[in-house]
Structure 1
Amino acid sequence: MSESELKVMGSLALGKDEQHVLSDKRIALLEHIAQCGSITQAAKAAGLSYKGAWDAVDAMNSMFDEPLVATATGGKGGGGTQLTGLGVRMVDAYRALRREQKRFLEAASSGIADFDNVYQLIRRLSVKTSARNQFFGKVTAIKKGPVNIEVELTLTGGDRIYSVITHDGLETLNGEVGSDAWALVNAAWIILTLPDVMGKTSARNSLLGRVVRINTGIVNSEVVLQLDGGNTVSAVVTNESVEALGLEPDVKICAVFKASSVILGVTD
């Protein structure tokens, strides 16, 4: 077999163990249940026995705090059966993961003949960063200036981060409104201020949160804040600053940093 005939293949499964897992076969069963409204007909369409279908449904229902499948007695064919809202969402999420997996496998297969380059690409994708703060969200605004571009990134929970990059940088990232993106901010680049100073500095980014942890060192301390949206921000400040600001758990504080200190990346 030549290299050009090789393909990268893989399966997908979500779960806690071999018994409690969402797989292609079980997702197909859920889809048949949604279409048929009957566990009996869904089992037949999925190529399962009636008992096998119920065993699979019971296993899937036990994976979550609420069931994926709900049954009403008295329906034709052993009772009416339908997916719950969670069941519909899990099927949609699994299919979305399957599509992304297919894209990756096809891309990997197309380059398998040039394995050395593929290997180097994988190594670049798996590189780790020393930046303490890694934020993920969507690009919600792009403001182009004559020299630089300001990119607005909205995080889960509604907090916003602004990054200033060059025109070439935006072209390289192929960034656009709606793109999934991430931002890196070094903890040493963040200044902590009292809430009443928020919005009164020249720094473009101001994030309000509460202190959840302080890791004290000999000279400096790492202060970890939790934002209202659920994200965390880590800042490295002097021990004298911790004392001067009166920092302790649950104290409200503002994390301030320049847009030029934000390294922006956009997913493909």
Structure 2
Amino acid sequence: MVLPISDSLVWGAPNESVENLGLCENTDASAIIKASSVILGRDLHSCRLGADSLLCGSVAKIVPGAVTTEVTVRTSGENTIGAIITNESACLIGCTEGDFACPVFQASSVIFGVE
């Protein structure tokens, strides 16, 4: 799946799902990624990881909660990816709005849809 501009991600789908959605090259589709399945790191763009998708960008928004923090990253392709991380992890990472960050996730966390 290629997202607008320059973002791409991996989706592990059975052929039946691809056929049922009518997906083929250049089909418009939307991707939903479960926020609690997104791992957030900094300076991961040059790392070799076992994860399927790595999209880097800048932290657009941080919303701390009682136990978890929601971090929204705007990718270089102008898409947004949300991550729900523990408050402890948020402190360890030390992100602030505008910082470089990399959401990482597996193909099994991606749901595709078409209109």
TM-score, normalisation: structure 2: 0.92
1:120-169 residue CA offsets vs partner (Å, 9 max, x unmatched): xxxxxxxxxxxxxxxxxxxxxxxxxxxxxxxxx21222111211101111
**How much has 1:266 moved relative to structure 2?**
2.9
In structure 2, list runs of 5 or more residues that go unmatched. Answer: none
User: What RMSD, in angstroms, separates the aligned Cα atoms of the two structures?
Assistant: 1.4
1:174 to 2:22 alignment: yes
**How much has 1:178 moved relative to structure 2?**
1.3
- Alignment check: 8 A CA contact 1:210 1:226 kept: yes
Q: Among all aligned residue pairs of Structure 1 and Structure 2, give the percentage whose two residues are the same amino acid.
A: 33
Structure 1's consecutive aligned runs of 4 or more residues displaced over 4 angstroms after TM superposition are none
- Larger deviation, residues 188-197 vs 234-243: 188-197
1:27-42 matched pairs, under 5 angstroms = none
- Alignment check: 8 A CA contact 2:45 2:56 kept: no
Give the structure 2 partner of residue 233 of structure 1.
81
**1:166 aligned partner, one-letter code:** P
**How much has 1:198 moved relative to structure 2?**
4.9
Give the structure 1 partner of residue 2 of structure 2.
154
In structure 1, list runs of 5 or more residues that go unmatched. Answer: 1-152
C-alpha distance in structure 2 between counterparts of 1:255 and 1:190, whole Å: 6
**How much has 1:261 moved relative to structure 2?**
0.8
Count matched residues: 115
C-alpha distance in structure 2 between counterparts of 1:164 and 1:198, whole Å: 24
- Larger deviation, residues 167-176 vs 196-205: 196-205
1:212 to 2:96 alignment: no
1:1-268 matched pairs, under 5 angstroms = 153-196=1-44, 198-267=46-115
- Alignment check: 8 A CA contact 1:156 1:229 kept: yes
Larger Rg: 1
More helix by share: 1
TM-score, normalisation: structure 1: 0.41
